Chain A
Amino acid sequence: MIEVKGLTVRFAGVTPIDDVSVVFPGGTCGLIGPNGAGKTTFFNVLSGFVKPASGSISAFGDDLLKMVDYRRARWGLRRTFQTEMAIEQLSVFDNIAMIHEHSGAGRATRRADVLSAIDYVGLDVAPTAKVGVLGARDRRLVEIARAVVGSPKVVLLDEPAAGLPDEETEHMSGVIQRIPEQFGALVILVDHDMSLVQACCATTAVLDFGRLIATGPTADVLRDENVMRAYLGTENVEAPEDATVEAAGSEA
């Protein structure tokens, strides 16, 4: 469980996260909102890239904000990035092994853990293949494998299916859904693809202009009036049953 209390982030002149208090109970939790809502900034606070002006984050009883940034991976915090960042120079195996060796997990199980992570995400390329030669889908899967190898406690996925065609998104959806039971980790999924969020997440929180506007069971949240207004403007629109709300462009 992750408990966020009164979190505020200020950059010069803007407040990308404004007094947000929210609980991510476990399993796979969605975090949605229009572009610029503060989703990626929230991830960056969890990762330690951004220091909040105030607030606290307690993850499984540990004070996350007290941890040095690079130590958080060892604690069990993993993440992927909006623009995929698997290491082109290294092989698939080394890409995943490098996280394993910085996560404090034992050397003895490294090979087996890495191979089982490759297997888990359903990558059918040679582990020795350089990531630089892989296609978009495989690179995304390498990133997910990097996020789950070893013993992750919290996995942050920032638009893991961005740019993937539908059938590959479906595979990705299956991979994401099984992370909690397979690895015992809490997953927070940021995505603009509402069908993906609906399929994966039991609960969802919605940010808009840095404020929490709704949280709770995903189905209820997506029908929430405030949420629809945030996404679709103030006009009265039919409830988007299973609709894909694609926001144009990518979030800054």
Chain B
Amino acid sequence: MARGFIGRSAIIVAFLAITLFVFPAALGGDWIKTLTSVAIYAVVAAGLVTLYGRVGMISLGQIALLAIGTWTATRLSYATSLPFPILLLVTGAITCVVGVLIGLPALRLSGLYLALITLMAAGAVNVVLTTINFPNGGKGFVGHTATPSLEGLKPVSRPGMAVGDTAYYRYTVVVCALLFLLIAVHFATKPGRAWASIRESEPAALAAGVNIVRYKLWAFALASFTTGVAGALFAAQLGQPTAFGFPTQDSLTLLAAALIGGIYSLWGAVIAGAFSQLAPFIFQAEWGVDPNFLLIIFGVGLLQVLLTAPRGIVVQMPQDIMNLGRLGLRLYRMVTGPRGST
């Protein structure tokens, strides 16, 4: 157990070292901006890993929660002069409350019905944000004005220590790593075990003494808090977010990406973040291919995952690589073997 723990820690440290030092040194500005988005969407996907992978509740409203986080942070930033870390926490707390409210139906609904309710909530959030048309240049927390004008609207301020894109990328990665740590600690302790027992069987969880209402709401609270903080990071990354940046169907594609990446593992969330943000960037900016082709790849990938690898890439890939290695070794022996024996 200790050896596994050390091994896992080593992988995490190496991964963080690469993201914090190798990527900024090796990659250009657009890449770094995209990787910032990858980190943020990875946190959103981690919310899906928590809700679906761990507790078994399908939420299709996670991008709406990200939008709420972004909107709240933007407004707080215009209306107050909170230090950035406090802004992150307050945004997280507000999004947490909203998320728990959306999660209340989850206590009575499950499966398809919960998916539909959260999808509709996401749609509703989108309608509200588009109607408010944030930020349209108004003042204060609501920021609405009859005469919209983006001129002179100052961007959401980044923390003083991380104003540049690369510095802000590092800042984002560190905050996101802390959010992942928060979720991982939950998974490894009492709430994580209670969630896993709810996912296995609600009657069995009840018989084991789990207060199902409390733990389901706790899961929604955690996923909403982390997504809200991610939204605040997103607000400062964009500077001037638009209401159109959070289409409802993005929640669906993110769920698909999380399923492909591996919905039962936090690494799967990292892969999902990369899939949903990095892949469109590479398609469009690097290869000049219409990113809508990605939807086809997502579709095929999802089918492949559902049919052959229900635990996602994060479990499947190492096995495939191992099989490939074995195959290569066998081929190598076939080629060299006769020669070696003569």
Contact = CB atoms under 8 A, between A and B. Distances in A.
Contacts of B212: 70
Nearest to B194: A98
Interface in B188-227: 190, 193-194, 196-197, 199-201, 203-204, 206-212
A70 B210 contact: yes
Q: Which of A69, A74, A78 has the most CB of B within 10 A?
A: A69
Interface string B233-261: 00000000000000000000000000000
A97 interface: yes
Given A87-B196, A98-B193, A102-B194, A74 B209 contact: yes
B contact patch SS: helix
Interface in A36-61: 47-49
A88 B193 contact: no
A81 interface: yes
Q: Which of B193, B196, B211 has the most CB of A within 10 A?
A: B193
Contact of B209 (A73, A81, A86): A73
A148 B126 CA distance: 51
Contacts of A86: 200
Given A70-B209, A103-B209, A89 B200 contact: yes
Contact of B190 (A48, A77, A101): A101
Contacts of B194: 98, 102
Given A94-B193, A97-B193, A101-B193, A78 B207 contact: yes
Given A70-B209, A70-B212, A101-B190, A90 B204 contact: no
Contacts of A97: 193
B196 A102 contact: no
Interface in A57-88: 69-74, 77-79, 81, 85-88
8 contacts: A49-B206, A71-B209, A77-B207, A85-B201, A85-B204, A89-B264, A97-B193, A102-B210
Interface of B: 1, 4, 54, 190, 193-194, 196-197, 199-201, 203-204, 206-212, 264
